Amino acid sequence: MTVAIASDGAAPDRGYDMFRHMWQCMHYHRRHCRDPDVLPPGKVLERVTIDAAKALSVDHEVGSLEAGKLADVILVDLFRPHMMPMNMPVYRVTCLANAADMCMTMVGGRVLMEDRRVLSVDEGAVLERVNEAAEITIGRSGLRHLLDEPKTLWGRSRY
């Protein structure tokens, strides 16, 4: 059985950050199993790359950097304060990196993001459309009250 790590979407308390998902997967399984060696960083990285491609039956096309496969690549900026020192890169990527650390994305050999800027779309226009669509959807659903600040947001703690 091939096991992959993926995301099915965002929620108020989480987003699409696969770096966070990698860390959470390691952390939750290690705590549950009470074993710090469960899901080592290298295997977690495989679970979001080659194992994910295998789970989708596209590992002959993507999932690893090999001759004849599509070049899907991200560059992670390891020269950031929270990523220092720059040793143990697999640990840095799986345990410390976040989506904001990606500085370049290439899909099928085509650069789609460079210097943290998406080249194929007008980011500002897309973000405006997202907010507009969210407002329309929330209004139509009749669920605007779910966006109200809960009474438990501030000033409480329970141990």
The predicted structure's pLDDT at residue 14: 78
Give me the amino acid identity at 4.
A
- pLDDT value of residue 7: 84
pLDDT at 21: 93
Would you place residue 151 in the very low, low, confident or very high pLDDT band (cuts 50, 70, 90)?
confident
When pLDDT is averaged across residues 137-143 and rounded to a whole number, the result is 95
Instruction: Give the predicted TM-score (pTM) of the model.
Output: 0.80
Q: What percent of the chain has pLDDT over 70?
A: 100
Question: How confident is the model over 59-113, as pLDDT tens digits?
Answer: 999 999 999 999 889 999 999 999 999 899 999 999 999 999 999 999 988 999 9
Region 35-46: mean pLDDT is 94
Q: What are the chain's domains?
A: 18-115 (2.30.40)
End-to-end CA distance of the chain: 40
| Separation of alpha carbons 113 and 98, rounded Å | 16
- The pLDDT of residue 55: 96
Q: Is the CB of residue 50 less than 8 Å from the CB of residue 60?
A: no
Task: Tell me how far CA of residue 113 lies from CA of 65, 101, 120, 121, in angstroms.
Answer: 19, 12, 8, 10
Q: Residue 1 is which amino acid?
A: M
